[in-house]
Amino acid sequence: MLTEERIVSNLARIVMIMWFFVVLILTQSYTASLTSMLTVQQLNPTITDINELIKKGERVGCQYGSFIYEFLITSMKFDESKLVNYESPEGLDELFSKGGIAAAFDEIPYMKIFLAKYCSKYTAVGPIYKFDGFGFVRTLS
């Protein structure tokens, strides 16, 4: 049998209101985090190995005029007909969006700019190759 009790003290009323808000915040937080875990699609790369790209004969992008083009042909043994040039981050996004390429290779600073702009759509995968003589310079103005 339930009995109804009245809260007479103002201090008790304040404590009850505070507890009510704490419980409300906790349940909303739990609901929001559970919803995001269930509904947010995780970005997982479909291809994680360069050799897989070569074996499948996939088309890959590299920035126009970059030394990466020659490196992909000579060192990595990519077929030259499978290399697609792009000139800007927007051009690279367009190539990916239209299905023109499966992956892209570029210098790390340029890839960081691309990923900063399109972080919700793309991810970087390893390995990272280091080259002698490459430097990144910024003006101090």
Of 17-26, 109-118, 122-131, the range with the lowest mean pLDDT is: 122-131
The b/e string for 45-70 (b: 16+ C-beta within 10 A; e otherwise) is: eeeeebeebbeeeebbbbbeebebbe
Residue 6 has what pLDDT? Answer: 78
Vertex 104 angle, CA 100 and 107, to 5°? 150
Q: Backbone phi, then psi, for 18, in 5-degree steps?
A: -65, -45
Closest to 111 (Cα-Cα) out of 72, 61, 70, 47: 61
> What is the chain's Cα-based Rg?
27
Domains of the chain, residue spans:
1-40, 50-117
Residue 77 has what pLDDT? Answer: 86
Residue 140 has what pLDDT? Answer: 47
Query: Whole-model pTM?
Result: 0.56
Position 65 pLDDT exceeds 80: yes
Closest to 107 (Cα-Cα) out of 57, 58, 72: 72
